[in-house]
Amino acid sequence: MRSSDPYIVLTLEGAAKMAESKLSLGSLNIRHVPSEDLYVVTTVETARDIRLQVEIPRKYTALHWGDPLYSAQWMRPTTEHINLNHLMLLRRPGASIPFDDFRKMLPGVSDPGGKLGLLITHDPQIPSEATEAGAAEFAGWLVHRTGVRAIAIEAEPAVVGLAQLTGRWPIEQLAANSVMVVGCGSIGSAAAEALAGYGLGSVELVDPDRFLWHNMLRHALGPESVGRFKVAAMKDHLAQHWPQQTVVAHRRDVVAEAHYIRPLVDRVDLVLCAADGIAPRRVVSHLSRRARKAAVLACVLDNGSIGEVIRLRPTPRFGCLLCLRQQLADQGAMDAEADQELDYGTGRVHQPMTAVPPDLRYVGMFAAKVAIATLLESLHGDHTQQVPGEHAIIGLRPAGDLAAPFDLSQAGDVRWSSIPRPRASCPTCSPG
Ligand SMILES: [Zn+2]
């Protein structure tokens, strides 16, 4: 079998219709996509002259379909292990069986005349050793008078999506958790996608802005979302790719509407802040500390030359964003918060706009990874995803000219450190 050979796509519904039918032979409607040399089963005869439509992925209907096939059938042979023969034939590129010989093996197969026919054989009794060797319950055949060729069937498995990770990734644990994502721009949209991909059960998206053309280059959303509110468009985007996740969209400003945000922080397990500017990050640092929730803050600094991910955990060991920045200021490091604010307020030239798109996605995914590791560790006692510290500096396009701890000189380098204990005078960390 070569990848250039034609393929048949059989959805789970189509397979079930054949498997549950009392017939041993029925007709099929199979559509052909010539550009892909792909066949898609669209109707199945399940009882004499009863043909049922099979639902197919919506995107397929937009493909350019070829002429209908002259004859297409499915068959459940009672004797021969025909699907084992199929496997052996499939492994011999170019091999075919003379039509008359094939018809002797499978009486009932239609004569396609001078045209091309197609057959699917269903063998529910296939021996397990044959299954292990690669033989399948459904097998496809291109039937022509000049010879019959085996073709591959891509049958939809019973389990698709995140459930495929069962036993290899804690999907049940993460399905019970929720994260609030503040800021649905370049970094936030990438983080939201990654959280869904890790199997997080629910996400609360917070962003007051609309998605505009200039956002598109660095964003998960495309032109169909221009003009929409980012949270609403992201909610639809996530629902399409990760239907298992609950997404709530909040068209709110985390700074101006802190009264609205506060109960949300109480409700979620962690806050991931990807909003740019000093104020939203400070608000998230403060509200999450007060709600005793962990927070992960992600941004790029120095015109996108480095990424920064900070994890704030509400324990006596770790201070807040202000405590960290104070320590860095005492050490003479760059004022990262002021750097964030550069050009801010013009409404057009934000810091992330100087970074290249995959670098921002990388930082967003990195932040999601840290958030997931934190949930697993703190809520599920799963230390297998433990990250090395609380503060990560990520080399994107570093020039090596910044003071420590931002003095990375290589792209792809990640430097982890801890963050200081709470300062006694801190308005966020001190109990009050
Ligand atoms: Zn503090």
**How far is ligand 1, taken at its centre, from the CA of residue 312, in Å?**
10
Residues 271 and 146 in one domain: no
Query: Separation of 293 CA from ligand 1 center, angstroms?
Result: 14
pLDDT for the residue 114: 87
236 and 372 housed in the same domain? yes
Rounded distance from Cα 258 to ligand 1 centre (Å)? 19
Measure 430 CA to ligand 1 centroid, in angstroms: 7
Span 387-414, average pLDDT = 94
Alpha-carbon span 110 to 117, nearest angstrom: 8
Structural domain that includes position 305: 165-417
How far away, in angstroms, is 341 Cα from ligand 1 center? 20
For residue 47, the tally of other CB atoms under 10 A from its CB is 11
Whether residue 193 is predicted with pLDDT greater than 80 in this model: the reply is yes
What is the four-CA torsion angle of 81, 83, 84, 90, rounded to 10 degrees? 150
How many whole angstroms from 423 Cα to the centroid of ligand 1? Answer: 6
Interval 216-225: pLDDT, tens: 999 999 999 9
Q: At which of 155, 187, 210 does a domain end?
A: 155
67 and 200 inside one domain: no
For residue 323, how far is its CA from the centre of ligand 1 (angstroms)?
Answer: 4
252 & 347 share domain: yes
Domain boundary among 99, 134, 155: 155
Select, from the ranges 238-242, 353-357, 401-405, the one with the highest average predicted confidence (pLDDT): 238-242
Query: What's the CA-to-centroid distance between 345 and ligand 1, angstroms?
Result: 26
Please indicate whether residue 320 or residue 125 has the higher confidence score (pLDDT): 320
C-alpha 303 to ligand 1 mean position (Å): 27
Residue 282 CA to ligand 1 centre (angstroms):
10
**Does residue 45 share a domain with residue 178?**
no
Is residue 350, in this structure, part of any structural domain at all? Answer: yes
In the reported structure, the alpha carbon of residue 285 is separated from the centroid of ligand 1 by a whole-number distance in angstroms of 9
Give the largest CA-CA distance in the chain.
91
∠ CA 139-144-148, nearest 5°, is: 45
Beta strands in 167-316, from DSSP E residues, in sequence order? 178-182, 202-206, 246-250, 270-273, 294-301, 306-312
Q: Which of 143-152, 261-270, 350-359 has the lowest mean pLDDT?
A: 350-359
- The reply to whether 1 falls in a domain is no
- Together in a domain, 197 and 109: no
C-beta neighbour count of 228 within 10 angstroms: 15
Specify the pLDDT at position 334. Answer: 78
Same domain, 173 and 311: yes
Percentage of the chain beyond pLDDT 70 is: 95
Please report, for the domain that includes residue 201, its CATH number. Answer: 3.40.50.720
Q: Which of 131, 155, 179 is the last residue of a domain?
A: 155
User: What pLDDT sits at residue 343?
Assistant: 47
Q: Ligand 1 centroid vs 363 CA: distance in angstroms?
A: 24
Report whether 414 contacts 396 (CB < 8 A).
Answer: no
**Co-location of 94 and 185 in the same domain:** no
The number of domains in the chain is: 2
Cβ atoms of 226 and 248 closer than 8 Å: no
Q: Can you give the length of the chain in residues?
A: 432
**Distance from the alpha carbon of residue 385 to the mean position of ligand 1, in angstroms:** 26
In a domain, 186, yes or no: yes
* pLDDT tens-digit readout, 10-19: 999 999 999 9
Kindly give the distance from the C-alpha atom of residue 340 to the centroid of ligand 1, in angstroms, as a whole number.
Answer: 19
Is the pLDDT assigned to residue 345 strictly greater than 70?
no
My answer on whether 201 and 227 are in the same domain is yes
Q: How far is the CA of 317 from the centre of ligand 1 (A)?
A: 11
- Judge if 147 and 208 occupy the same domain: no
Average pLDDT over the chain reads 91
